[in-house]
A and B are shown apart, each in its own frame.
Chain A
Amino acid sequence: MMKKILVIEDNPMVIKSLEFKLTKDGNNVMVAHDGREAMKLLKENEFDLILTDLMLPFVTGNELISYIKKNTPNTPIIVLSTSTQENIIMDAFNMGVDDFITKPFSPNELSLRVKRLLNKN
């Protein structure tokens, strides 16, 4: 069965690459370009996995993570961020994210991590 993944990212190049790669892997990918759009999609759909950036327009990544954890606590979250600061990574894990990938990222590695989390759930 196709898994439904939400990609929340504001960089068009990264969006297209993630969309392409994850669709090629057999997933149904939906895209939100900012936090507000993501909130709307989250209210209307149920996702098997969420891949999000932390720096987003309108609603920040941290606010989104809190919202997801409050409403669908079992949905796995992967953060994809340029930040390598330890405190930001620790904060994200403390909020309950399942994985943290830093940019620049390896698409193959990301794909494996997504598969691992989807299989786990």
Chain B
Amino acid sequence: MLNFYTFNFHLNLESLPWIMKLNIAFALFFLSLAIIFFISIIWIRIFKIYRNEKKRKQQALLIDFLNSYLFDEDFDKELEIKNFKENHLKTSLEIKVTIKEILHFHENLKGESAKDLESLFSKLDLVEFTLLDLEDGRWFTTARAINALSELCIEVPNHRIEAYLNESRNEVRQQSQLYFLKLAEEHPLKFLDKTVRPLTTWQQIYIENALKNFYKGPAPDFSNWLDHDLTSVVEFSIRMIARYNQFENIPKLIPFLKSKNDTLKREAISSLANLEDIGLLELLIPTFMDNSRIIKLEILDAVEQIGNYEDLKKIGEQLATTDWELRIKYHNIELGFLPEKKELIYSQFMLEKRFEI
């Protein structure tokens, strides 16, 4: 019976016009594609479930292992580490989960327990694996590897991390900067000498945060980078001179008030105002109108911060402008200096605005 139908179908197919044959061929092709796609999705799903299950088991195992290692005095550390290495650190997944869990523990614990975790990381030979990851080539694996090394304070030869200071990916550069900051005992910003790519705003924030929260040595002399080739590094250094109250560096900031670069000039004005440099306004006010709008706004901020009403009036005499942002700022500062004349200043301002004086 079956042979009969096959034969019949074969006959029918042969007798079909070529366009129909082409149609059937395409239909079969797309049907097989759909089946392959469907099977792939199911296979990926099954693989993911299997992988997650393995991950969950390894995590559970690690929580017990790490807790016993840290808190159980009867735990035979040498023997258990040997067993763990032999039985539970065989696959890449097991190693990755182990590194992640140790980092997670380290993030939440401090003191002796954190130190124990750092030594455990080395005893489990995870440093070697991390160094392999470092050279993996994929940016996220490299960034993760540098992060693990810096979080656990594991020192590796400098040239291995320096290679990533000028990587194209921001994340990799950021992690390598943090590595040097967290591990430095002194000269935490030495890496800036080898930096040739601009520091992003986030990198500047992270560097400042790491300097405050992780670095324990003497504060660096930020004036060392005032002649750096990168504007972002100079800008950061100027800002840090003020944040760290390095009054001795004030004379080195003064030349930046004549800088052609508005970013540096603005940062210098802001830092000198924060350092309450009394000569700052004398230098800035006479040439107020020669500056760009952004610098004018910064000068007004400086007057508000360290000046008086007389200084403001000197600017007011020059302020023949219809730039309303500048005028509003000027009048707001005036209100701050003369709170008792608030009503008068406001009505004067409204009058000027109305008649565009």
Interface of B is mostly: helix
Q: Does A120 contact B (CB under 8 A)?
A: no
Task: Give chain A nearest CB distance to B75 CB in angstroms.
Answer: 10
When distances are taken between beta carbons in the complex, the residues of chain B under 8 Å from A106 are: 109-113
Q: Please name the residue on chain A nearest to B74 by beta carbon.
A: A24
When distances are taken between beta carbons in the complex, the residues of chain B under 8 Å from A26 are: none
Q: Does B245 contact A (CB under 8 A)?
A: no
Interface stretch (choices B65-73, B171-179, B216-224, B338-346): B65-73
Q: Does B319 contact A (CB under 8 A)?
A: no
Which of chain A's residues 79-104 have a Cβ closer than 8 Å to chain B? 103-104
Q: Does B104 contact A (CB under 8 A)?
A: yes
- How long is the Cα–Cα vector from A105 to B108 in the complex, in angstroms? 6
Q: Please name the residue on chain A nearest to B71 by beta carbon.
A: A21
- How long is the Cα–Cα vector from A13 to B68 in the complex, in angstroms? 13
Q: Does A72 contact B (CB under 8 A)?
A: no
Contact indicator A108/B108 (Cβ below 8 Å): no
Contact indicator B112/A13 (Cβ below 8 Å): no
Contact indicator B67/A108 (Cβ below 8 Å): no
Q: Residues 6-47 of chain A: 1 if any B CB is under 8 Å from the residue's CB, otherwise 0?
A: 000001111011001100100000000000000000000000
- How long is the Cα–Cα vector from A12 to B63 in the complex, in angstroms? 9
**How many B residues face the partner with a CB closer than 8 A?**
17
Task: Give chain B nearest CB distance to A14 CB in angstroms.
Answer: 6
Given contacts A13-B63, A16-B63, contact A107 B71 (CB under 8 A): yes
Q: Does B215 contact A (CB under 8 A)?
A: no
Contact indicator B111/A108 (Cβ below 8 Å): yes
When distances are taken between beta carbons in the complex, the residues of chain A under 8 Å from B68 are: 20
Which of chain B's residues 67-118 have a Cβ closer than 8 Å to chain A? 67-68, 70-72, 101, 104-105, 107-114
- How long is the Cα–Cα vector from A16 to B104 in the complex, in angstroms? 13
Task: Give chain A nearest CB distance to B115 CB in angstroms.
Answer: 10
Which of A11, A12, A107 is the one whose CB lies under 8 Å from B70?
A107
Q: Which of B63, B68, B114 has the most CB of A within 10 A?
A: B63
Contact indicator A107/B63 (Cβ below 8 Å): no
When distances are taken between beta carbons in the complex, the residues of chain A under 8 Å from B63 are: 12-13, 16
Sampled A-B contacts (28; CB under 8 Å): A11-B108, A12-B63, A13-B63, A13-B101, A13-B105, A13-B108, A16-B63, A16-B67, A17-B105, A17-B108, A20-B68, A20-B71, A21-B67, A21-B71, A103-B108, A104-B108, A104-B109, A104-B110, A105-B108, A105-B110, A106-B109, A106-B110, A106-B111, A106-B112, A107-B109, A107-B111, A108-B112, A109-B111
Using a CB–CB cutoff of 8 Å, the interface residues on chain B facing chain A are 63, 67-68, 70-72, 101, 104-105, 107-114
Using a CB–CB cutoff of 8 Å, the interface residues on chain A facing chain B are 11-14, 16-17, 20-21, 24, 103-109
